[in-house]
Amino acid sequence: MQSATTIRRAIILLLLLFCGNFLFAQNISSSGSEADSLSKKDRSKSDTGINLMMIVAYHSGISRSYEFSIARGHSVYTGGYPGFFMQYGGGVEVFQHKNDIAFAPKIFYELDPFLPPMCFSRINLLYVTDFKGRGSLKYRHEIGFSFEGGFNVNYGYTFNLTNKSFFRATHSLNLQWNIFVGKRKWENITE
The model's pLDDT over 110-163, given as tens digits with 9 standing for 90+, comes to 988 876 656 678 999 999 999 888 999 999 999 998 887 788 999 999 999 999
The closest of 123, 87, 125 to 106, measured between CA atoms, is 125
pLDDT level of residue 24 (50, 70, 90 thresholds): very low
Residues of the chain with pLDDT > 90, as a percent, come to 45
Q: What is the pLDDT of residue 97?
A: 85
Residue 104 contacts residue 9 (beta carbons within 8 Å): no
Distance, in Å, from the CA atom of 125 to the CA atom of 50, rounded to the nearest integer, reads 23
What does the domain layout of the chain look like in residue ranges? Answer: 2-25+49-188
Distance, in Å, from the CA atom of 7 to the CA atom of 80, rounded to the nearest integer, reads 49
Q: What is the pLDDT of residue 167?
A: 87
pLDDT level of residue 80 (50, 70, 90 thresholds): low
Distance, in Å, from the CA atom of 33 to the CA atom of 104, rounded to the nearest integer, reads 46
* Least reliable range by pLDDT among 82-91, 143-152, 167-176: 143-152
Mean pLDDT of all residues in 91-98: 92
Distance, in Å, from the CA atom of 125 to the CA atom of 152, rounded to the nearest integer, reads 18
Is residue 70's pLDDT more than 90? Answer: yes
* Mean per-residue pLDDT over the chain, rounded: 79
Residue 183 contacts residue 174 (beta carbons within 8 Å): no
